[in-house]
Amino acid sequence: MIKVGGRWFTSIALCGLMLGSAGCEEEPPPAPPATPDCSAPPEVSSPDWVPCRLKAMTLEEKVGQLFMTHAYGTSVADADPQMVESNRKDHGLDTAEQLVERYHLGGIIYFTWANNLRAPEQIARLSNGLQEVALRQERAIPLLIATDQEHGVVVRVTEPATQFPGNMALGATQDVETARQAAAITGRELRALGINQNFGTVADVNSNPLNPVIGVRSFGVDPVRVASFTQVQVGAMQGEGTSSTVKHFPGHGDTDVDSHYGLPIINHSRAQFDAVDLPPFVAAIDAKVDAIMSAHIVVPALESSGLPATLSHAIMTDLLRGQLGFQGVVVSDSLSMQGARPYGDQSDARVPVEALKAGVDLLLMPQRIEVAYNAVRDAVNSGEISQERLDEAVGRILTLKQKRGVLAQPLVDLAGLQRVGAAEHLAAADAITERGITLVENEAGVLPLNPEASKVLVTGWGATATATLAQELSRRGRFVERVETGLTPAQAKIDEAVASAARADITVVLVNRVWTSKPQRELVRALQGSNKPVVVVSVREPYDIAHLPDVSTYVATYGYQPVSMKALARVLLGEVNPSGRLPVAIPEEGTASGVLHPVGHGLSYGL
């Protein structure tokens, strides 16, 4: 890295490209804070509010602000027996209301599996209900309410909210304006639902084609391009009043282990981290991102002890705070993930304490909230965690809430729900999605589909994906047969698809990570033997073609959601001329350095 005026940058080119000529200048150090006058309660917008509130808070209230977790139910007091049972199992309490009251929580995170996200009005009422519970506490501190609205393969708030195809599809447009639009619309709609924080911009550079957890969640393989897309998303999201969180620091892009289920080791040198992994986080920091999420990964070049980054003072404090100058909130990835449990049976208590000592401020989804809360409180009482460190972390969380207007306007007006899935938002999503569809191979000139090819077989992976594509083609006058074969098609399903292909003029087969599924590869090979044209469409990472020899017509969508399948139909039929370009290189199978298709490759119809 290059240190310029007290700030760290990966290169002068990065500094000039994303930050502008003034961005490389040293920022003046902040003035030391004056002692606030807390004799009268300051306004929530006052600079004195945070220090005065800290002075008034009890230890228990401060510790509670450090935690964000989930709660089951469509409302704060959902009495559905299944929701009550789930809350008791995970938290020892019946409802979200009890959870906020008992632990003075700093935040709640929404999930579909927690039954939080059924419909826009229900979500907004849940958000308001949670805030009302927080506001009736003695210290009346509103909650951060978060979700993971990345779009693409990780989406929590579904239709009627506007859906986008995900980061790699945005990267394929080669235009940061698409990322800006997607983030602005997402931030606007989330805020209308009462969701004020989005764990939604993945800043990881997907440098490993076999990455099982990042993949299409990344903007691509070029660090400078990923940095530029990350930076504009931060500004657009926060411009709509929704706090942005970039993840997963210091970079989860080069791993073949999923940290939900194991502990990845990333053996990049420090020079590789500086050149590949850190630029997007530098760009986010320069954009004044509110929060950065840690990764549960082991990085020997940055931390020699073998601890995951979340628990590393060298990474969370020395690197992120000291060298990169980040002043916002550091939030852990979920502490219930396997990668965050290095202490065995003691992890429930030790991990939250060690994460806080390492430099994490907001502790996300501990395995057992009671154990984690008590462990942190006891660590402060014993002096293992200093009062200064506690106040520092809580102060950052309160400052974030103040900055994003959560303190001033914690409740949402239901009239604002008209913004969710607005017609202009949906039109923007359609246009953006079309621009990312990438025509990788078209050797036989099969695409766009000839009008005379009236009988189309849609087959391959994905019940919803194949159904949506079939419906869209049918609506446009094609006679469509559909045979969904699943992720690992049995021979009977392969035979059924081949028999259907014999009756069709052309076959469109959707594939999903065929390098993990030999039966999918056998399906494609069998369809190729039908002597009818076959269009292969990868609906996740575009690397599938490297594992499918002799495929001559190949399209990459980077997503399998309805918005992507509808755009695919328009491209297949020539209503849209494909303009997407690969944001990653497709390697040759079985080689260490061979490239089948380089970054930037993509074809158009020449219409």
* Predicted local distance difference test score (pLDDT) of residue 5: 33
* Predicted local distance difference test score (pLDDT) of residue 259: 64
DSSP string, 25-43: SPPPPPPPPPPP--SSPPP
Judge whether 2-37+62-419 and 437-597 match in fold: no
DSSP secondary structure letter of residue 599:
T
Parallel/antiparallel/unpaired status of strands 534-538 and 586-587: unpaired
What is the percentage of the chain residues whose pLDDT exceeds 70?
93
* Predicted local distance difference test score (pLDDT) of residue 40: 86
One-letter amino acid identity for 348? D
Q: What is the radius of gyration, based on Cα positions, of the chain? A: 25
CATH number of 437-597: 3.40.50.1700
Between 340 and 146, the higher pLDDT residue? 146
Contact 524, 548 (CB under 8 A): yes
Asked whether the predicted pLDDT for residue 591 surpasses 70, the reply is no
Q: Which residues of 342-356 are buried (b: 16+ CB within 10 A; e: fewer)?
A: beeeebbbbbbbbbb
pLDDT-based confidence at 262, cuts 50/70/90? confident
Q: How far apart are CA 31 and CA 509, in angstroms?
A: 62
* Predicted local distance difference test score (pLDDT) of residue 21: 34
Per-residue pLDDT reduced to its tens digit, 28-82: 555 555 688 888 889 999 999 999 999 999 999 999 999 999 999 999 999 999 9
Mean pLDDT of 392-419: 97
Query: Is this model's pTM higher than 0.75 or not?
Result: yes
Per-residue pLDDT reduced to its tens digit, 6-24: 444 444 334 443 433 334 4
Per-residue pLDDT reduced to its tens digit, 347-367: 899 999 999 999 999 999 999
Per-residue pLDDT reduced to its tens digit, 192-213: 999 999 998 999 999 888 887 8
pLDDT-based confidence at 220, cuts 50/70/90? very high
Q: How far apart are CA 70 and CA 73, in angstroms?
A: 10
DSSP string, 428-481: HHHHHHHHH-EEEEETT---SPPTT--EEEEEES-HHHHHHHHHHHHHTT-EEE
Which residues have a catalytic role annotated? 333
Could you tell me the CATH superfamily of domain 2-37+62-419? Answer: Glycoside hydrolase, family 3, N-terminal domain (3.20.20.300)
Domain boundaries, the chain: 2-37+62-419, 437-597
Between 186 and 17, the higher pLDDT residue? 186
What is the percentage of the chain residues whose pLDDT exceeds 90?
84
469's torsion region: left (phi>0), alpha (psi -120 to 50) or beta? alpha
Q: How far apart are CA 290 and CA 331, in angstroms?
A: 10
Q: How far apart are CA 60 and CA 558, in angstroms?
A: 46
Per-residue pLDDT reduced to its tens digit, 298-312: 999 999 999 999 999
H helical segments located in 193-269: 223-239
Task: Give CA separation, 490 vs 100, 483, 487, 517, 577, in Å.
Answer: 48, 13, 10, 11, 36
Asked whether the predicted pLDDT for residue 574 surpasses 70, the reply is yes
